[in-house]
Chains A and B, each alone.
Chain A
C-alpha cells in the first residue's frame, strides 16, 4: 500500500443529526489532519445526509479514518476515493464593480472564455459564478484580480464517485430485517 500523501475524497452517508459534524470533525482534529474542505448536503436518499470531506493523507490513514467515521453510531457508510475515482467540482463567486464591465472590455472576454455566468448585475456591482476544478477557478481569480475583486468566495469540493455507492441497498436490508 502506498505511503505517499495523496488527496482523498471521503464520502460519508449519515443520519441527519445535530452534533454529528462535531463527532466527525473531531476524528480528524485528534489525529492532526487538516480538513481541506468539507461540504454537507442531502444525499440521493431522502433523510440521509452526505458529507464530502477532502484531506491530504496516506492511504493507510484514509482507511483508518474511514473506519473511525463508520464507527460513529449515526454513520451509515463511509468511503474514500482518489481524484481519479471521482467526478468533482468546486464553485465560486466574484463580486466586481459594474463600471469595470464597460470600462474594461477584456473582462467580457474573460467571462466568455472561462465559461462563467453572470448571476446578477446592478449599477454598482455584478456577480460572477463559476463551477469547475480548482485550477480553473484559481486562473479566473488571477485574471480578474488585475481589475480588482470586491468579494471572492469558493465552496468546498463536491464529488460523485464513478463506483456505485450501495447505501440504498444497505438501508433496504436493514428495513427487511
Chain B
C-alpha cells in the first residue's frame, strides 16, 4: 500500500492529465510537499474546497475560526519547521482578513503561500459580490503576488509562488485565482520552479569581504556579535556557534534571533533592544567591532541611530543587499547565505579569547540581576510576576519548549526569561508587533512539530484578539498549552502611560471575562492561579498534560518591564528602573 502511494505522488508531477483548475491547485500543493494548510471556505474558493475534500488523505485542511487565524497558524507552522506555511481564503473579506498575517510574515521574513479565491474573471472590476482588489491591497506587504485568470496558468503560478516564498530572504506571496480558472480544465503537469531570471535570491559571498571581516575581527580587542533571524532562516546555527567559540566573541541576539544558540551558552550575552539585557545594549557603545549577522538594525534594536555604535567598526552579514547601509552605515558588508558565509568566516578567524571584555558583560549582568532580574523571577512581594511564571515553565519543560508569545509586556518577559535549548523555539511577532498572533501561531507550530512542547504565552489583551481559535484547538485536538498572563491591563501601553503620559491610563484597563469558563466552553482543561503557592503545581500539571491546557495566571497589575531604552534614546541610556 505504501509503495503505491509514493508512486501516485510521483505520477502527480510527471504525467500530463486533463483536470480542472481546482484539482490542479490541490495537486500542485501536494507536489510542493504541503501536508497541512490553514483556511476558511467561501463562495469564490468553493471548487478548491470540494477537491480538498476528495484529497483529505493526502493533505489536511485546518478550518480556523477566522482568516487572520489561518494566516498566523501558517506562520507558526513555517517558523517552527522552516517549511512554507500555506493559508487559503475566499475573495473579498476572506482575502482582506489574511492581510495582517501577510504583513507580519513580510516584516518577519516568514515563507508563506496564500491562495485566495477571486470572482469570475469577466466580473473583475465590476464591483461584484465579494470582489476586492486583493492583488493591489497585498502588493506592499508581499514579496510577490499575482492573479491567475486562466486554468492553464495555475501550476506555473503556484510553482513560482513556492520558489519565491522560500528562496533567498523568505517572505509571503499571494496567488489570487479567479473562479473560472478554478472550474476550467487544463493539461496538468507539475514542474517545480528552480529559477527566475530577474531574481537573484542568494548573492554569492565574496572571499575578499570574508577576509576583510576576518582581519577586523582578528585584530579586535572588544568584538561583539549581534545575530538575528537570518541565522535561523539560513540554518546556520552550527556555523554561528563555531564562529563565536573559535574567536571567543560575546554574542547577543535580536528578538527573532533567539534560540539559535542555547541561552545557557557561556558566550551568549542576552538580547539587545528596547527591553533587552543591560550588558549587550550598554556595551554596543563600547565594542570596537560590531558583527551583525542576519539582522536588520530595527529601530527597536538600535534606539537613536545618531548614537548607535559610533565608536565601532561595523561588519554586516546579510542575504538582502537592501539591508546594507539601510539604517546603520557598515564598514564591511558580507553578502550571502549565512550558512555559507559563516562557514567561510570560521576558516579565516584566529582562535582567540576575550576574557576581560567578557567580564564586562558579566559585571553588567550582575547589576541587571540585582536591580531587575531577581525581583522578576524570585519575587518577594505578594503579587505574582510574569517572570516567575516563565521560570516555572523553564523548569517543567526543561528549556525544551517552543515558546509562542504574543505582543506586549509578557512577550518581552518571555523572550528575556525563557530558556532555549533548541533552535526555532521562539515564535513571536517581532517586526509588526501583531497582537493576536500567538494563539493561532501556536496551533500551526504544534501541528508542524507535534513531538515538541508548544507553550503559548499571551497577555489578556492579545488573547482576546484571536480567542476564537480555541475552537480550532478543540476541533483539531491540537495539544497547545496556553498561558494567559492576566494583569487586567494592556500592560505595555499602560507602562508607557505611566512613564510618559503621567499615569493617564486611557483605554488600557480591561474588564475581563471568566477565561476559565470560556476555555471550558471549548472543552479545554483549564485552571486559574492567583497565588504563588499554586503556581508550581499548575505549571507542572499543564506541561504534563497530553492534551491542550489553559492556564490563567493573575499577575501583578502594574508591573513594568525593565530594562528599557526609552523610545528615541541611545542604547547607552538604557534604564533599569
Contact = CB atoms under 8 A, between A and B. Distances in A.
A64 B324 CA distance: 9
A74 B198 contact: yes
Contacts of B147: 18-19
B320 interface: yes
Contacts of B197: 15, 76, 171, 174-175
Contacts of A171: 197
B195 interface: yes
A39 interface: no
Nearest to A175: B197
Interface stretch (A22-30, A103-111, A147-155): A22-30
A19 B195 CA distance: 20
B135 A19 contact: yes
A14 interface: yes
A73 B143 contact: yes
A68 B143 CA distance: 12
A177 B200 CA distance: 12
B199 interface: yes
Given A30-B140, A174-B197, A177-B195, A71 B135 contact: no
A26 B140 contact: yes
B321 interface: yes
Contact of B199 (A23, A74, A177): A74
A18 B147 CA distance: 9
Interface string A57-68: 000000110011
Tell me the interface secondary structure of chain A in the complex. Answer: helix
Chain B interface residue number, banded: 20 to 34
A139 B322 CA distance: 41
B332 interface: no
A75 B198 contact: yes
Given A26-B139, A30-B140, A15 B326 contact: no
Nearest to B321: A67
B153 to A, nearest CB: 12
A15 B198 contact: yes
Interface in B190-222: 195-199
A73 B139 contact: no
A15 B197 CA distance: 9
Contacts of A68: 322
A85 B321 CA distance: 24
B196, B322, B324: most-surrounded residue (chain A CB, <10 A):
B322
Nearest to A26: B140
B325 A63 contact: yes
B443 interface: no
A177 B321 CA distance: 22
Nearest to A69: B322
B100 interface: no
A90 interface: no
B138 to A, nearest CB: 10
Tell me the interface secondary structure of chain B in the complex. Answer: mixed
Contacts of B143: 73
Given A15-B198, A73-B198, A75-B198, A67 B140 contact: no
B125 interface: no
B196 A67 contact: no
B432 interface: no
A177 B196 CA distance: 11
A175 B196 CA distance: 10
B198 A64 contact: no
B494 to A, nearest CB: 31
B144, B196, B199, B326: most-surrounded residue (chain A CB, <10 A):
B199
Interface string B144-166: 11110000000000000000100
Given A19-B135, A26-B140, A30-B140, A174 B195 contact: yes
A95 B286 CA distance: 68
Contacts of A177: 195
Contact of B322 (A14, A26, A71): A71
B164, B198, B325: most-surrounded residue (chain A CB, <10 A):
B198
A19 B198 contact: no
B513 interface: no
A125 B414 CA distance: 75
Contact of A70 (B135, B196, B321, B325): B321
Interface string A10-21: 000011001100
A19 B139 contact: yes
Nearest to A15: B198
B92 to A, nearest CB: 19
A26 B199 CA distance: 19
B169 to A, nearest CB: 9
Contacts of A26: 139-140
Contacts of A70: 321-322
The 5 closest A-B pairs by CB, nearest first: A67-B322, A174-B197, A76-B198, A73-B144, A71-B322
Given A19-B147, A70-B322, A174-B197, 4 more contacts: A23-B140, A26-B139, A75-B198, A177-B195
17 contacts: A19-B135, A19-B136, A19-B139, A19-B147, A23-B139, A64-B322, A67-B322, A67-B324, A67-B326, A71-B320, A71-B321, A73-B196, A73-B198, A74-B196, A74-B199, A174-B197, A177-B195
Interface of A: 14-15, 18-19, 22-23, 26, 30, 63-64, 67-68, 70-71, 73-76, 171, 174-175, 177
